[in-house]
Structure 1
């Protein structure tokens, strides 16, 4: 074959080796057995012609893209953003380390905010074969997309909430249990007026799980659930500040707050400082995430290791992509730990 400026194609390899295009593909991708002598001849031609496979063309043959999609809430929502979000950075690092080792590419996608398209983005990506599998981060109550992917047996793993019905592969901490234990911790310290700040809108399953855990702990202790003790927060410090303002203006204010995020807990602390209140003296505080903020502001917080969640989610998805036999859904629960600091008052009481 004469050397030209055009790229060498799989057809060229097949012609030079005297085999079919599919045989070259089988040898190159290992998708079907090829005689050792034939394989050696094919790879000799590949080396001699300096063949560089085109990933798009290879995908047409193998029906694989080597793309994994991370599907997130829209970054302009009140619940989620990329900028300055150390929790998301940890999640992304965990995912990235695994898919890099497995030689996959990572796509990040979300649906448009404010209106619903006829075909959701995730379904569109599946139909267009733009990805081999998907990690769905922080899913909402709208499960129609997940159900459609399930009907097509499309490989997916949910991260950011645990599928307690064991129908879909998922990796997360047990948000219900952590919220339950956080409320119990405050109950053990003698508090009966305990408020709750949701990490975001209740349309997201993680927020509902945490509210449910908080509510069940109160009910078990014989304490009536009070709507005025629940504030729907967001990802900003200001939401914790507004929650504290709402709670502490009540005729019967809470003496303890279960914050949905460390950043919200910082907002509570700022409100207390501005209004001459003591934490934990006037109001005790406990939170989720155990980020650097919790250490800086001495906040009692529970670890929710997003790096580990991302890593295990990517590993589980890779298993789905490579295993030959179907198995039941796997629900991986990442362990969490309560780190007691000064904000809850437990140190002073021990």
Structure 2
């Protein structure tokens, strides 16, 4: 459907339709009503590109993510809530976690969208922040930490301590840590730092064989967990740096005949909805993901309106969510089955 179709149906010129669309003077009230009726009947909507060329703005905010996974999906719920009642719309752009060159993905994505499709963007876990797109951006959980770009993240260091202290309090001493490579996220090393700090405070030396990293490939994560649980003296508990890894840990443990939490306690990080859909339900550290998305969009709206955000760098608290996947350590015992996570 084009503007010419609207003009023909309404019996007016294209210029008249354009004036109605842009709320310009010089069109009789009856004609305005007629044109708007036809627009509604035909379902006409001008393209974002055409809108940006006319007005130098699209009233669209982009949320740019490397992939749609549990963390980003939760964040999008908060972002969508933030634009309610505003004149803005939301568009989500993701590469599906595929393709070479993860480093610098936000530059490529922004170059495709800024200037014609979006007025500003929320970058979710960007690898770099020194992007020069011409459009304002706010970063959520940036890999490189705080810079001049407004940011929103969670207290990952404290969250790592909370998880480890919970396991220590249950009596565990051989606690494994499953994290991400340092190049991936600043939050990963901070969670590991919290893990090491809690062990040190409890007088428990860190066993290097219990600290593992796994890449974003699911098979790599599963193989890493299997290696960890196959040690001559395996851990009695594992702290995984995100819920997805924790769920994979429980699934690998089940495939090896280990009971959770009877033989192995598992704790995650994030508190995504999937963490409640496991049997046993996953104990985890919650970061307020939806709130992070909402605050990021609200900060961006301030910038787009020419206002300085109340805070340019927001760090939200984390908290422990105790469920059923952790228990005091017991002598190793084998079982044929264990509940698996639901979809």
TM-score range, shorter chain: 0.7 to 0.9
* Alpha-carbon distance in structure 2 between the residues aligned to 1:71 and 1:147: 15
Describe the superposition over 1:73-107 as per-residue Cα deviations: whole angstroms up to 9, x where unpaired.
2x4xxxxxx3xx44433222322343354232414
In structure 1, the residue matched to 2:124 is 137
Alignment check: 8 A CA contact 1:340 1:346 kept: no
| Counterpart check, 1:99 vs 2:88 | no
Q: Secondary structure of 1:250's match? A: coil
- 1:214-253 aligned at under 5 Å gives the runs 214-233=195-214, 241-253=222-234
Alignment check: 8 A CA contact 2:49 2:117 kept: no
* Alpha-carbon distance in structure 1 between the residues aligned to 2:248 and 2:71: 17
* Alpha-carbon distance in structure 2 between the residues aligned to 1:180 and 1:46: 67
- 1:220-299 aligned at under 5 Å gives the runs 220-233=201-214, 241-290=222-271, 291-298=273-280, 299=282
**Structure 1, unpaired ranges of 5+:** 18-23, 29-38, 76-81
* Alpha-carbon distance in structure 1 between the residues aligned to 2:218 and 2:92: 29
Alignment check: 8 A CA contact 1:238 1:264 kept: no
* Alpha-carbon distance in structure 1 between the residues aligned to 2:106 and 2:172: 49
* Alpha-carbon distance in structure 2 between the residues aligned to 1:101 and 1:171: 22
2:32 to 47, 52, 66: 47
Q: Residues 273 and 10 of structure 1: is their aligned pair in 2 closer, same or farther, counting only changes over 3 Å?
A: same
Count the aligned residue pairs. Answer: 310
1:307 Cα shift?
A: 2.7
In structure 2, the residue matched to 1:31 is none
* Alpha-carbon distance in structure 2 between the residues aligned to 1:7 and 1:261: 59
* Alpha-carbon distance in structure 2 between the residues aligned to 1:272 and 1:118: 34
1:127 Cα shift?
A: 6.1
Q: Secondary structure of 2:235's match? A: coil
* Alpha-carbon distance in structure 2 between the residues aligned to 1:278 and 1:89: 30
Q: Residues 201 and 46 of structure 1: is their aligned pair in 2 closer, same or farther, counting only changes over 3 Å?
A: farther
In structure 1, the residue matched to 2:341 is none
2:100 to 103, 111, 114: 114
In structure 2, the residue matched to 1:64 is 57
**Structure 2, unpaired ranges of 5+:** 1-6, 40-44, 331-343
Q: What is the RMSD of the two structures over their aligned residues, measured on CA atoms?
A: 3.9
* Alpha-carbon distance in structure 1 between the residues aligned to 2:286 and 2:104: 37
* Alpha-carbon distance in structure 1 between the residues aligned to 2:285 and 2:99: 31
Q: Secondary structure of 2:233's match? A: coil
* Alpha-carbon distance in structure 2 between the residues aligned to 1:272 and 1:136: 35
* Alpha-carbon distance in structure 2 between the residues aligned to 1:162 and 1:71: 14
Alignment check: 8 A CA contact 2:125 2:143 kept: no
Alignment check: 8 A CA contact 2:123 2:137 kept: yes
* Alpha-carbon distance in structure 2 between the residues aligned to 1:243 and 1:176: 23
More deviation, 199-208/253-262? 199-208
Alignment check: 8 A CA contact 2:82 2:297 kept: yes
Describe the superposition over 1:119-139 as per-residue Cα deviations: whole angstroms up to 9, x where unpaired.
941452466443211111112
In structure 1, the residue matched to 2:163 is 182
Q: Secondary structure of 1:172's match? A: strand
Q: Residues 43 and 163 of structure 1: is their aligned pair in 2 closer, same or farther, counting only changes over 3 Å?
A: farther
* Alpha-carbon distance in structure 1 between the residues aligned to 2:105 and 2:146: 29
* Alpha-carbon distance in structure 1 between the residues aligned to 2:235 and 2:226: 11
